[in-house]
Amino acid sequence: MKLFKKGLFLLVLPLFAFVLAHKFYVSVTNVGYSEKEDALQITCRIFIDDLENVLEERYDFKAYLATHEESESADSLIERYLRSKFTIQIDGSDMAYDFFGKKYDHDVVICYIEVPKIDLKNKTSIRIRNEVLTDLFEEQQNIVHFRIQGKKKSFVLTKSDTNGTLNL
């Protein structure tokens, strides 16, 4: 019986490691340029539960994202949050952008953003400030991938380093 208890303990012990493991906090942003549209096109992929948590913490708002109970004002609050945490500069000037909405892909919300009417031929740099979820999660990492005019560059942005710049 004593040997059985030890064996059972050794089998169950690894399961506790998964319970105690810390969640990984990450978002992924892709920035591209459409010559046809003459626009920067951006997608931000954020875990649904993390976005719900920040909306509740920041705005005292339960969004119920990706459910039949989703609030009609979810999009406007997501946009409001993104505008406070995500900015774009071209050659040092802040750029206005359009939030086109979102869609769901399993446990991720994909937000669509566009900076219209940008002629990149005479531009020298694009800078992204991404502080999404850093106000809620100390360990948050925001990965930004630039793929513009044949140039590729990626950044891992954190609470202490929130900016990434692509030189054109």
Residue 95 placed within a domain: yes
Looking at the domain assignment, is residue 13 inside a domain? no
Q: Is 4 part of any domain?
A: no
- Domain of 50 in residue numbering reads as 21-167
Q: Is the pLDDT of residue 5 over 80?
A: no
pLDDT band for 6, please (50, 70, 90 cuts).
low
How many domains are there within the chain? 1
* pLDDT over 90 at 90, yes or no: yes
For residue 62, which amino acid is it? K
Q: What is the model's pLDDT at position 154?
A: 96
**Cα dihedral 108/44/83/56 (nearest 10):** 10
Q: Do the domain assignments include residue 136?
A: yes
- Domain assignment of residue 75, yes or no: yes
* Residue 54 included in any domain: yes
Q: Look at residue 114 and tell me if it is in a domain.
A: yes
Q: Average pLDDT, stretch 150-154?
A: 91
Q: Taking the CA atoms of 48, 77, 99 and 30 in sequence, report the sign of the dihedral they define.
A: negative
Q: How far apart are CA 109 and CA 8, in angstroms?
A: 41
Separation of alpha carbons 26 and 29, rounded Å: 10
Q: Per the domain annotation, does 3 fall within a domain?
A: no
- The identity of residue 51, as a single letter, is L
pTM above 0.85, yes or no: no
Which residues have CB under 8 Å from 66's CB, separation 6+? Answer: 48, 104, 109
Residue-wise pLDDT for 111-150, tens only, equals: 999 999 998 888 999 999 999 999 899 999 999 999 998 8
Question: In this structure, are residues 108 and 50 in contact, taking their beta carbons and an 8 Å threshold?
Answer: no
Predicted confidence at residue 150, as pLDDT, reads: 87
